Structure 1
Amino acid sequence: MKYSYIARQPILDSDRKTFGYELLFRDGPKNTFPEIDPDKATSRLLSDHFLSTHYQTLGNHVGFVNFPYQSLVNLVPTLFPSDSLVVEVLEDCEPTSELLDAIKKMAKQGYRIALDDFVPSKEWQPFLPYVSFIKFDIRIVPIAKAGLFISKLRGSKIKFLAEKVETYDEFEQAKKAGFDYFQGYFFSKPELIQRKALQPSFLTIVQLCKEIAKEEIDYKELESLIARDLSLSYKLLTFVNSSAIVSSKIQSFKQALVYLGEKRLRQFISLVAIASTDSSKPNYLYGLSIQRARFCQLAWCKSGQRSDADLAFLTGMFSLLDCLLDQPLESIVELIPIDEAVKLALTKGEGALGKILSLSNAYEHADWEQVSELGISLELSDEVLSQCYDEALQWSADLLQVDI
């Protein structure tokens, strides 16, 4: 069987909390979702990846999955549990009576149906009583026009999702138009660019991140850094005490070091550090920073560059600082003590670190053509990249107790 890529993109509610993920598949060099038929191999491909790998990282959230026409008619979605799956009807599906019968059957079995990239037409009217979500691509159907359609169905059970929301202003407009959920990258762009001095506590965070990215942790240095910032110390102890592995209350940072061990310590400090930047930001943004850090580190090592893996980790983690601090990345990196190679990767996308970061971004956006090109140049196979991504997802999910 061919190896497939799967990436995920977050779907947020009006409070910018994660509601679910769209899971994006690629099978083979044509960058397309595989044509589904009842064939066992194809069913196994979906089952192996969707069930065994990605249900672990969905947590309590739902997974939106695109299914082409034939797979819907063949009721392939019913192979998967209905509680965690939203069945997306692709925009190129014809609204035939055959498809309507299949949608009715799945809805009756408890499956939630979403119409993807919806463009209103009378042909889809009979489907609406069985639909739970309608997704509008706001690049195709403007927010104002979609808002008129939403107002007509105000009393229905249908929830509306705005796709390709790229700016904070678009997010606000979509909310006012009646959208319930939002998909896009508005959450990873600065809401307001402003120049302000970096607080001393933030520089401590940078030093902490540098320490946990090293192969061998210097515990004395960590203890010294934590002691400089009371709020940071308090947050770390709070996270440690909320961990399932802690059976008795941890009273000091020294205790935390002993109790957690190196692996969990790296994870907790990653979370506390990145979440200390701005508590008003979407939770997913913190998870994405940590996920990127781990993906960059893993891909760096798999590409044969064992040294400087800590720099790859930092590159991923700091790649969203502009979004977390609402300042230009170029200004931020000039004020923090990080390696020149990391600065060049972050601001100009240069060097091997820049290439690894570009690879991470391409994977997140499901830009499979770019993923393939960068993978070839870094001598990373499809299978290795998929493993790195899955491991990074699981690592961040473990850290955030799958609430990301």
Structure 2
Amino acid sequence: MNSYLARQPVLNRDKDTIGYELLFRDGPNNSFPDVDEEHATHRLLTDNFLSSGNSDAASGKKAFINFPYGSLINRIPLLFPKRSFIIEILETCQPDDDLLEVVQELYQAGYTLALDDFTPSPEWNRFIPFVHIIKFDLRVTPLPKAGFFIRRLKEKGSQITFLAEKVETYEEFIAAHEAGFDLFQGYFFSRPEIVRKKTLKPSALTTLRLYQEISRSEVNFAQIEKIIATDVTLSYKLLRHVNNMTYTRAKPISSFKQALVYLGEEKLRRFVTFVATSHAIEDKPESLYFLSLQRARFCEQLSQQLHSKLDCNQAFLTGLFSLLDSILDQPIEALIDQLPLDKPVQHALINRQGYLGGILRLAIAHDQADWHTIKRLCQALNVKESVVAQTHMDSIKWATVFEQTLPSKS
């Protein structure tokens, strides 16, 4: 599945690109589609920021994102890290008390705010102390009027940055420069260019976000509950599964919070891992899901036998995530980059290096019945082949039993 967006560079006075305005597109045609503004913003955020909080589309520079009234009132920007993007408050927003309350909240939380296509008016005056950038559309606001407004604010000591939009000629750039604008955007520099990328389907996005949380040294229960609640299918499966585990209770568990408290951190980490993995590969062979569980258990158990100081949770994640590229249809390097994994796990998954990398290679060799490699790796890891064979068999039995306890994929 592909996602599309257009981006137009934002330049400074030296014509250096400092960021990009990102614009939603629903196909390769470089024009705004016939969709609602709220829908466009939601899709743009989901396709480009949801999994990691950052967007490759901005090439590591600042991203400018349009936010209509509804998205602001519903505090959508607060779902993302404050450094993810610059919030452009669309000119179609009503400058009412509710909007002012949101703007003040975002400002105090450290987000960068811009007034898009700004037209000076008394209704917007009370918003100015809480914004960092004001954008003037030179096709709507004449340059002399914009220049007067800029000089007046700067004379009052304002630190606001002013951006000129629709700069279409060299002469307009020079005039805007002299009028006091700090940033520039328009056809004189570049027309919006289309960017196409592979995007994760919703179930895979949810899974990746859950993987991010369980990969942290301390599990954030509230964040996991919040993620689960966004996916109806996953919510159903999780509650159904935890009630299967607690069928002896007099009263069924009916909320995520109850389920999380009951499980505790370690069981929650595993519980989310299993069900989320199953959820992500509903349209893939069951063997892929089974193998990811079996490898995870193998790596965990063998790590405990080989070295008492090895973190068995790291070994478990190494085995589980060894098939992440196949599960989520993305390059392993790109996925690992979005997960807060320790360096030994990253090296094992990407380069098959380190102690964990050796254990993972041993698991893969057993899956492939590569006896020559198994013998060589056993010698390198100083472990008996009989121990590895028994661990492999135990991991298959364990994965089989656990798979039977999970809710079906239907």
Higher relative contact order structure (alpha carbons within 8 Å, sequence separation ≥ 6):
1
TM-score for both structures, normalised by structure 1:
0.45
Larger Rg: 2
